[in-house]
Amino acid sequence: MKIKSLLLGSAAALVAVSGARAADAVVIPEPEAVEYVRVCDAAGAGYFYIPGSETCLKFSGYVRYEMNFSNGVDTGPDDGVDDWGKRSEVRLNIEAWNDTELGPLYSRIRLGYDSNPRIDGDNDASGLSIDHAVIQLAGLTIGKNASWWDWGFGADGDGIVSFGPGEVGMVAYTANAGGFGITLALEEDNSGDYTPDVVLDVNGSVGDIGLHAGLAYNESQEAFTGKIYASYDFGAAALGLGYQYSDDDQLGTEYLAAFEHVFGADISADLTEKLSARAGFNYGLDNAAGLDGYTVGAGVNYKVVSGFDIDARVNYAGGDALEVNGDGVWGGRVRFTRSF
């Protein structure tokens, strides 16, 4: 009887404990909502939405190291010699895009670092800088950007065609018509006065023929210059021809070439999926002293892997206007670029 009472009491105790545990419901906290980064296809490749907004962001840029050689000119400052120079360069683009009732609103900031100034025509200073700060809306471009005059022809033999002032403050408007972009730009005048230089740029194509033309007015020198370039795409190769005229009273000033007439041609070809080659020349007639000169050059580019390529080129400048101590000038460059 005592054993039976003990068993019944133990069973009752177990039931009571089990009931108490069942009554205490286990509460599992719900995880907080996480907004994952979304791809912004509307803005193009590489853009993503900033979480919590409708603005799209993109990061891109490159890291570069190059070595330069010339037998006639200084290839870089502070290198101890006149014919050998080394240079490192970094660019980081931060781009933002969102749609508005007036169309896409776009902006770009480009941070740059150069260990030495360029020797190929750009006016970048050494050190860290913000060389692009651009806002674009409904065809309008405002801010610091590469000049609309900064293009040329002649591939690696392009040492005569003028490339303009580099990065400048500007207000520009671009309209599109018939496959062509037509831009009128008021660019910062480096003379220091408030009146801008004026650049008209037309760029587009008709079938396989590409056309690029420009007209510039140097306000401080009251001088005009114009250039035109036409190219034909054969598929694996492309051929181009160009010409520039500059006011003979102000040769060599901003926007104007050092020769009254500059003719040029270039050719490029994809040799394999990774290897491409190019060659070209410029010929200038009538510099300020009435002399002629020419430049020729060739280069190759090899894509080692996606995002990393090696580029090499060699060029030569000759003619009475470009010789140094009666001799032509050889130059070369090897450039390593990691882009992302």
Question: 278: which strand partners?
Answer: 268, 299
* Inter-residue contact 256 to 272 (CB < 8 Å): no
User: Which pLDDT belongs to residue 27?
Assistant: 67
55 and 87 in contact (C-beta within 8 Å)? Answer: no
Closest residue by Cα to residue 214 from 224, 231, 201: 201
At residue 74, the pLDDT reads 53
Total domain count, the chain: 1
pLDDT for position 158: 83
Q: What is the structure's pLDDT at 162? A: 86
The whole-number average pLDDT for the span 88-99 is 97
14 within some domain: no
Q: Is the pTM of this model over 0.85?
A: no
CB 256 within 8 A of CB 218: yes
Query: Is 169 inside a domain boundary?
Result: yes
Task: Provide the pLDDT for residue 72.
Answer: 67
pLDDT computed for residue 66 by the predictor: 96
Reported as a pLDDT band with limits 50, 70 and 90, residue 317 is very high
User: What are 166-201's pLDDT values in tens digits?
Assistant: 899 999 999 999 899 999 999 998 777 789 999 999
Q: Is 28 inside a domain boundary?
A: no
Specify the 3-state DSSP secondary structure of 188. coil
Q: What are phi and psi of 204, to 5 degrees?
A: 180, -160
CATH number at residue 92: 2.40.160.10
Q: Which pLDDT score, from 0 to 100, does residue 123 have?
A: 43
pLDDT digits (tens, 9 = 90+) for 249-260: 999 999 999 999
**Does 75 have pLDDT greater than 70?**
no
Q: Whole domain around residue 256: which residue ranges?
A: 53-339
Answer yes or no: is 192 within a domain.
Answer: yes
Q: What is the pLDDT of residues 8-51, one digit of tens each?
A: 455 455 445 455 444 456 667 666 655 678 999 999 999 999 99
In angstroms, the CA 306 to CA 297 distance is 27
Smallest Cα–Cα separation from 269: which of 299, 229, 241? 299
Q: Mind listing the pLDDT tens digit for each residue in 259-305?
A: 999 999 999 999 999 999 999 999 999 999 999 999 999 999 999 99
Any domain includes 307: yes
For residue 137, the model assigns a pLDDT of 97
**For residue 42, is it within any domain?**
no
pLDDT tens-digit readout, 103-146: 999 999 999 999 875 544 444 455 788 999 999 999 999 999 99
Residue 178: count of CB within 10 angstroms of its CB: 7
pLDDT bracket for residue 163 (50, 70, 90): confident
Residue 39 lies in a domain: no
127 is a domain residue: yes
